[in-house]
Amino acid sequence: MTMDTAVVTTDLDRLAERVERAAMLVLELRAKQAQLEAEKAELLRRLDETSQRLQGHDPSALMAELAGLRKEQRDWLAERRDVAGRIETLLKKLERIEA
């Protein structure tokens, strides 16, 4: 084997390694693309499902209703505290009467 033949063989070996690495990379990228496409399909399905559930519901109306319910909850809690305070006052008065 001459020096030129050895250089060509070494260059061909390196080229073959690079081609194999490139082929593996292509396979990995195809697998990743398939995975991403599956994830995209699932996300689109979930988006469609959510859109179906929300169909006919105005988001701003839902937010207004939620705000109203939160206010009502705060009012009920305030009234509950007020009633508890009144009951406590009445119990103290009863204790004084009994004493």
Q: Is pLDDT larger for residue 58 or for residue 71?
A: 71
Instruction: Verify that 83 and 67 share a domain, yes or no.
Output: yes
Indicate the pTM of the whole model: 0.46
Backbone Cα Rg of the chain: 37
Is there a single domain that holds both residue 39 and residue 18?
A: yes
Q: Are residues 43 and 70 in the same domain?
A: no
End-of-domain residue from the set 55, 71, 89: 55
Contacts of the segment 14-22: beta carbons below 8 A, 24+ positions apart: none
User: Are both 6 and 37 inside the same structural domain?
Assistant: yes
CA-to-CA distance for 43 and 75, rounded, in angstroms? 40
Residue bearing the bigger pLDDT, 39 or 61: 39
Whether residue 12 is found in the same domain as residue 45: yes
Q: Per-residue pLDDT for 1 more than 60?
A: no
> Does the pLDDT of residue 43 top 70, yes or no?
yes
Into how many domains does the chain fold? 2
Looking at per-residue pLDDT, the higher value among 54 and 33 belongs to 33
- In this prediction, residues 30-49 reach a mean pLDDT of 95
Domain enclosing residue 83, as ranges: 58-99
User: Rounded CA gap, 99 and 87, in Å?
Assistant: 18
Q: Are residues 62 and 51 in the same domain?
A: no
Residue 59 is predicted with a pLDDT of 82
